[in-house]
Amino acid sequence: MTKNPVQNQPLVKYEKVSKKFDNLEVLKGLDLEINQGERVALIGPSGSGKTTIIRMLMTLEEPTSGVIKVDGNPLWHKEVNGKLVPADENHLRKIRGDIGMVFQQFNLFPHMTILRNVTEAQVHVKGTPNDEAEKRAITMLEKVGLGEKIDAYPLQLSGGQQQRVAIARAVVMQPKIMLFDEVTSALDPELVGEVLEVIKEIAKESDMAMILVTHEMDFARDVADRIVFLHGGLIEEQGSPKEILENPQSPRLQSFLKRFLSTT
Partner 1 sequence: MWDNINVYFDILHKLLPAGWMTIKILITSALLTYLIAFIAGLGRVSQFSIIRTLTLIYVELFRGTSLLVQMFWIFFALPAFGVEFSAFWAGVLALSLNYGAYASEVVRGSILAIPKTQTEASIALNMTRWQRLKLVILPQAFRIMLPGLGNNSIELLKGTSLVSLITLGDLTYRGLIIQNTNLSYTVPVFILLLILYFIIALPLIILVRRLEASASKGVAKV
Which residues in this chain contact partner 1 in the complex, by CB under 8 A? 58-60, 89, 93, 96-97, 99-101, 103, 105, 107-113, 120-121, 124-125, 153-156, 169-170, 173
Nearest-approach distance from CB 237 to partner 1, in angstroms: 29
Query: Which of 199/253 has CB closer to partner 1?
Result: 199
Kindly calculate the radius of gyration of the chain based on its CA atoms and give it in whole angstroms.
19
Query: Which of 26/165 has CB closer to partner 1?
Result: 165
Query: Which of 92/234 has CB closer to partner 1?
Result: 92
Nearest-approach distance from CB 90 to partner 1, in angstroms: 9
How many Å apart are CA 183 and CA 196, to the nearest integer?
A: 9
Query: Which of 157/227 has CB closer to partner 1?
Result: 157
Nearest-approach distance from CB 171 to partner 1, in angstroms: 12
Instruction: Pick the closest to residue 240 from 34, 1, 40, 32 (CA basis).
Output: 40
How many Å apart are CA 92 and CA 56, to the nearest integer?
A: 11
Nearest-approach distance from CB 112 to partner 1, in angstroms: 8
Nearest-approach distance from CB 179 to partner 1, in angstroms: 8
Query: Which of 58/257 has CB closer to partner 1?
Result: 58
* 204: helix, strand or coil: helix
Query: Which of 4/174 has CB closer to partner 1?
Result: 174
The one-letter amino acid at 110: P
The one-letter amino acid at 140: M
The one-letter amino acid at 142: E
Long-range contacts of 157-161 (CB under 8 A, 24+ apart): 157/114, 158/191, 159/106, 159/186, 159/187, 159/188, 159/191, 160/187, 160/188, 160/191, 160/192, 160/194, 160/195
Nearest-approach distance from CB 40 to partner 1, in angstroms: 18
**CB 176 within 8 Å of CB 11:** yes
